Structure 1
Amino acid sequence: MTSFVLERLLTDETQTARLGEDLALSLRAGDVLALKGDLGAGKSTLARALIRTLADDAGLDVPSPTFTLVQSYDTRIPVHHFDLYRLGSASEIDELGFDEALAQGAALVEWPERAEAYLPKTTVLIELVQQGEGRLARVSGQGAAFERAARSLAMRGFLEGAGWGEARRRHFIGDASARSYEIVSLAGHRQRVLMNSPRLVLGPPVRDGKPYAVIAHTAQSVSAFVAIDRALKAGGVSVPEIHAEDQDQGFLLLEHLGSEGFLGKDGEPLAKRYAAAAELLAMMHGLTWPQRLEARPGRFHDVPPFDRDAMMIEADLLVDWYVPAISGNPASDDLRTGYAKEWNALFDRLQGREYTLMLRDFHSPNIIWRGDRSGHDRLGIVDFQDALIGPSAYDVASLAMDARVTISPEIEKQTLDAYMAARHAAGAFDQAGFLESYAIMAAQRNSKILGIFVRLEKRDGKPYYLKHLPRIRDYLRRALSHPSLAGLRDFYNAHGLLEERAL
């Protein structure tokens, strides 16, 4: 495996600390960063900045572990700071609990040459050497940890090009995809959001020679976000201003719309805010949206359709992941055949129904409440790069059956009523057709989510999504109560798909 090298000139202690901050933002559990350099080279400055960034505590006491040999910190990603200077022999690293530390977090190792043969081949080496009045930092390594470190350094370069090179970076939020977000702060300016959206890795073919993401029409680059952001803004929707962009690398510097959401102090959904979001959807669904959107001069994003293949492969996540998890065996051919038959009959019923720009994940994590504003401007919308042209009912179902919040039947009804009242007020509206489409889309979405949340646990090592499964099953039962879905409801009941199961 080839080792790669990046170099950064550090003219003072501030730049050394900034490098530590940048490396901290790239860390994942299991990573090893090795700090190499003479006494006084700046290793302690870099280590201190890295740990304080992970802790989001600029004043955190970070003593040198010279005498204790290892110091552990319960930060966003637990980090274990090793100093091997006093190590008697390389094998003693095992006695320090090095492997156990990597199983639960990341390791920061000073004087790695004392145990070099015992460090993983994927270790990222940061070597600090004297150069003039400053230091030259050489960052080298191979594999995913080095690639993440290199991308984080590229993000700093992007900030420098935007005039924000001295900004403080802090982790903001990640999601179920490879995207991540940071809050960046610069004296004299309002905070902004740094979006890191690497190009989508498509994965292996799963059907008809195509990867899942191609069939489901998942956005493959940040250009989709840029194009849809501009279209939504032109349509009167409050979305982030894009202050700087590098679409080729997948970096955006965005307006920070705020952090207030849709939940009360005890985590309860605030019905009036859900109703306001439903009214925003009603406004959007009354507009005509172009399918071809400009991402930048000469580059366009064609909004894909939420076609039958996309609907079906999403619904199939239930039989691909959820069924094996609850039954202990792969779904049988008979189950798959019956499942597809029921769903295709429902997809037939969507023909001729209202289709529009469908944001796909229109729910509380992606809607910011701005109570100091009025009308639709109270709602700031984010995370819409996977938008499709699909049934208008889909986003209403995404909102009224919020996957991460327990929405009571009463609040679901209030949300639906607010949407339908706004549509009736704007003109002719097929309420019966909408309610049937709503039930179909709610059943499709919640079936998909059951599969996704199990996949996140089984494939991606994210077990905390499983706690949402009882809520999703309840939403699915509600959707299946519509008379048009009787056949699918009977099928789910016959195969025990709606039973409460502990995974």
Structure 2
Amino acid sequence: MAHSITPERQGARDVFLKNQGWQDAEVEPLTPDASFRSYARLRRETGGCMLMDAPPAHENLKAYLDITAHLRDLGLRVADTLGHDLDAGFALIEDMGDATFTRLLNAGHDAEPLYLLATKVLKALHDHPRAVDIDLPPYDMTALLREAELFVDWFVPAFRGSAPTDAEKRGYMAAWQDALAGVSEARNALVLRDYHVDNLMITGGLEDISHCGLLDYQDALLGAPAYDLVSLVEDARRDVSDELRSAVMVHYTKDMSAAEVKALELDMALLGAQRHAKVAGIFVRLSKRDGKPIYLGHIPRVLRLLSKALEEAELSGVRESIEAMVPGYQQARF
């Protein structure tokens, strides 16, 4: 469905487009995503671009612009910024096309070359000596627990029909704090936080990382490299086969020792479980609060991924807490 815009926002957008010299462009709104941002494709005879609408009350446009500049400086492919107004919350950015990995996969494109290209991009980002040379908040215990809390605030009441007790919530949060104690200290990666096929694009060939366009990274933090890797191979919205996951892991870990691989896999289990718990809560919230029930269709996959991640011994406390609160949660359907 098209993005609905208030008269006030429409007026602000018209002023911005006039100031940027795009007032006569044809405006084609794009399907909104899970955020408060929206996009529209601008077209005119001399070319086109994308309009980003990032309402200042909900979105941090400056963070997007700063991280975009940093990623470009690191040699990664991001949309060029053509104009912006921070106070109004609008930006004009390069139109990189429609060839998202998701669209290519849905059209029958072979998955492995796309996923290996995504893996190459992550390796380049994680290996770059200046990747973390940017002033961003840490993905620390406070941030990780705040996200994990979404599971008890939204999923648990929706599944069982009642909110968790104070004691249940305290036990759940304490279990996460114990499990995440080590990985919450990591600061050696720029974590893009939504690294999956919906937010990756092909802008050229499949061999060069300069042809892999990045989207939706404005909430980046400094944390552990495992987070974006597990986001790619344990996608909340798309099944990833064991064979494809294995190919990604072989490529990513080819220069790592056995001990390093084992540590990475543990971090992936910990952060994967945290992400799946968070996403289960977010998808329920998107339906109940924001009127976007389409995300509920992904909940069974998210819960399967969560249940599998919770098999890790270091997550036994979290597993026991969740199973006590919502026994049979893996079968939740909305």
Structures share fold, TM-score greater than 0.5:
yes
Match of 1:392 among 222, 225, 241: 225
Q: Which residue of 1 aligns with 2:57?
A: 200
8 Å CA contact 2:300, 2:333 repeated in 1: no
Q: Flag the structure with higher helix content.
A: 2
Aligned 1:233-244 pairs, distance under 5 A: 233-244=72-83
Q: Which residue of 2 aligns with 1:226?
A: 65
Match of 1:259 among 91, 98, 102: 98
Distance 2:174 2:109 in 1: 38
Any idea what SS the aligned residue of 1:182 has?
A: strand
Q: TM-score, normalised by structure 2?
A: 0.91
Q: Which residue of 2 aligns with 1:151?
A: 9
Match of 1:287 among 116, 119, 128: 128
Distance 2:56 2:126 in 1: 30
Any idea what SS the aligned residue of 2:30 has?
A: strand
8 Å CA contact 1:443, 1:480 repeated in 2: yes
Distance 2:46 2:206 in 1: 24
Give how far 1:313 is off: 1.0
Distance 2:165 2:241 in 1: 34
Distance 2:237 2:3 in 1: 27
**Residue 475 of structure 1 pairs with residue 332 of structure 2:** no
Give the direction of change, closer, same or farther, for the CA distance of 1:374–1:410 in structure 2 (3 Å limit): closer
- Over aligned residues, Cα RMSD in angstroms? 2.3
Q: Which residue of 1 aligns with 2:248?
A: 415
Tell me, which stretches of 5 or more residues in structure 1 are unaligned? 1-24, 29-147, 202-219, 294-301
8 Å CA contact 1:26, 1:149 repeated in 2: no
Q: Which residue of 2 aligns with 1:164?
A: 22
Give the direction of change, closer, same or farther, for the CA distance of 1:439–1:268 in structure 2 (3 Å limit): farther
Any idea what SS the aligned residue of 1:192 has?
A: strand
Give how far 1:261 is off: 2.2
Give the direction of change, closer, same or farther, for the CA distance of 1:407–1:26 in structure 2 (3 Å limit): closer
User: Number of residues paired by the alignment?
Assistant: 330
Per-residue CA shift, 1:369-426, capped at 9, x if unaligned? 23436410221001111111111111111111112112223322322222222x53xx
Q: Which residue of 1 aligns with 2:331?
A: 500
Distance 1:269 1:362 in 2: 19
**Residue 381 of structure 1 pairs with residue 214 of structure 2:** yes
Per-residue CA shift, 1:156-190, capped at 9, x if unaligned? 3322332322211001232222110000011122x
Q: Which residue of 1 aligns with 2:267?
A: 437
Name the amino acid aligned to 2:118: A
8 Å CA contact 1:323, 1:497 repeated in 2: no
Rg bigger for which structure?
Answer: 1
Give how far 1:353 is off: 4.4
8 Å CA contact 2:140, 2:184 repeated in 1: no
Distance 1:307 1:487 in 2: 20
Give the direction of change, closer, same or farther, for the CA distance of 1:165–1:390 in structure 2 (3 Å limit): same
Distance 2:195 2:141 in 1: 21
Give how far 1:198 is off: 1.0
Name the amino acid aligned to 1:167: A
Any idea what SS the aligned residue of 2:180 has?
A: helix
8 Å CA contact 1:192, 1:256 repeated in 2: yes
**Residue 174 of structure 1 pairs with residue 32 of structure 2:** yes
Match of 2:89 among 237, 245, 250: 250
8 Å CA contact 1:269, 1:405 repeated in 2: no
Q: Flag the structure with higher strand content.
A: 1
Q: Which residue of 1 aligns with 2:143?
A: 310
Name the amino acid aligned to 2:317: G
Distance 2:124 2:186 in 1: 18
Aligned 1:427-466 pairs, distance under 5 A: 430-466=260-296
Distance 1:481 1:413 in 2: 19
Distance 1:272 1:478 in 2: 26
The higher relative CO (CA closer than 8 Å, separation ≥ 6) is in 2
Per-residue CA shift, 1:414-460, capped at 9, x if unaligned? 22222222x53xx9982211111111110000000000001111111
**Residue 484 of structure 1 pairs with residue 314 of structure 2:** yes
Any idea what SS the aligned residue of 2:31 has?
A: strand
Give the direction of change, closer, same or farther, for the CA distance of 1:459–1:497 in structure 2 (3 Å limit): farther
Any idea what SS the aligned residue of 2:129 has?
A: coil
8 Å CA contact 1:269, 1:406 repeated in 2: no
Any idea what SS the aligned residue of 1:372 has?
A: coil
Name the amino acid aligned to 1:178: F
Q: Which residue of 2 aligns with 1:359?
A: 192
8 Å CA contact 1:303, 1:389 repeated in 2: yes
Distance 1:239 1:280 in 2: 12
Distance 2:249 2:73 in 1: 26
Aligned 1:302-341 pairs, distance under 5 A: 302-341=135-174
Name the amino acid aligned to 1:174: P
Give the direction of change, closer, same or farther, for the CA distance of 1:265–1:363 in structure 2 (3 Å limit): closer
Identity %, equivalent residues: 33
Distance 1:248 1:240 in 2: 21
Distance 2:151 2:232 in 1: 21
Any idea what SS the aligned residue of 2:274 has?
A: helix
Aligned 1:122-137 pairs, distance under 5 A: none
Per-residue CA shift, 1:93-142, capped at 9, x if unaligned? xxxxxxxxxxxxxxxxxxxxxxxxxxxxxxxxxxxxxxxxxxxxxxxxxx
Any idea what SS the aligned residue of 1:249 has?
A: coil
Name the amino acid aligned to 1:332: T
Give the direction of change, closer, same or farther, for the CA distance of 1:413–1:374 in structure 2 (3 Å limit): closer
Any idea what SS the aligned residue of 1:256 has?
A: coil
Any idea what SS the aligned residue of 1:492 has?
A: helix
Q: Which residue of 2 aligns with 1:186?
A: 44
